[in-house]
């Protein structure tokens, strides 16, 4: 096993570790790890990322179901348009992306470059969200669901489905604020509900790749198992480490990674 492969599997542990520590964010590292350390094509990496993200989120979801932390009504309203969108993107859009999307002079925007640039942009948004987020931290009682927000929630769910389908990220940094600000869920319930949505949309989105990609199940299951192990380690450590400070620090790290991807892909 080469050194970069070892780093890649260590990265899988870190993905789960961060998810266990702060309840999200770790999945944003999956695609860069798969591309730069383990040598996968970005198209394949985003598909594998959906499986890893969905599986790790599912582990957290099962735990949250037992503790009654999920608002299933809200989850269904959000998940249906998101699931449909991410499945369509993976099964219809991704397989039909042209090898070269457009070119100007000597510059060619290939489908792989497009995905990595879009992913870097999403990482910048995620990092900024982790650093600057001022979503209510209290766990107040759930307010009444406002039906006037159905359209807004559905629209945002479609947008998140498109992003998840294109770059293989869960989109929790967008889902949680929407659940808190629009649906008025307490922050803890919003995080748990978000995890449920991410698990469903990611795993169903991955199904859209099964007809077009040859999946290396041995590798994918090993990588995912290591990530899940990281979650349990993170949950243990979360009792001793300040999640707020860690989240801010990880936000800065995510931004640095995004800048690195931009420079690596463009220069």
Digit-coded pLDDT (tens) for 127-143: 888 888 654 444 444 45
Range of the domain at 69: 3-266
- The predicted pLDDT at position 165 comes to 92
- The predicted pLDDT at position 145 comes to 53
- The predicted pLDDT at position 142 comes to 46
For tokens 């039906």, the residue is: 147
Question: pTM of this prediction?
Answer: 0.86
- The predicted pLDDT at position 141 comes to 45
Q: How many domains is the chain partitioned into structurally?
A: 1
- The predicted pLDDT at position 219 comes to 97
Pick out the chain residues at pLDDT < 50: 135-142
- The predicted pLDDT at position 245 comes to 79
């Amino acid at each position: 096993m080469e050194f970069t492969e070892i780093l890649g599997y260590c990265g899988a542990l870190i993905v789960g570790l961060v998810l266990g520590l702060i309840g999200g964010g770790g999945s944003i590292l999956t695609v860069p790890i798969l591309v730069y350390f383990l040598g996968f094509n970005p198209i394949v990496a985003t598909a594998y990322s959906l499986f890893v993200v969905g599986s790790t989120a599912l582990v957290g979801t099962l735990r949250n179901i037992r503790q009654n932390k999920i608002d299933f009504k809200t989850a269904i309203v959000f998940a249906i348009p998101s699931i449909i969108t991410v499945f369509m993107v993976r099964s219809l859009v991704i397989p039909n992306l042209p090898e070269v999307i457009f070119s100007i002079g000597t510059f060619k925007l290939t489908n792989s470059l497009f995905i990595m640039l879009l992913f870097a942009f999403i990482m910048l948004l995620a990092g900024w969200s982790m650093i600057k987020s001022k979503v209510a931290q209290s766990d107040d009682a759930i307010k009444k669901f406002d039906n006037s927000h159905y359209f807004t929630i559905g629209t945002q769910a479609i947008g998140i489905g498109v992003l998840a389908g294109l770059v293989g990220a869960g989109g929790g940094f967008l889902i949680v604020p929407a659940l808190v600000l629009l649906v008025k869920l307490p922050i803890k319930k919003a995080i748990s509900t978000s995890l449920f949505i991410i698990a469903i949309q990611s795993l169903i989105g991955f199904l859209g790749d099964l007809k077009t990609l040859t999946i290396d199940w041995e590798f994918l299951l090993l990588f995912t198992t290591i990530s899940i192990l990281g979650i349990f380690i993170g949950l243990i450590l979360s009792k001793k480490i300040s999640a707020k400070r860690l989240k801010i620090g990880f936000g800065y790290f995510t931004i640095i990674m995004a800048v690195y991807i931009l420079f690596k892909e463009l220069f």
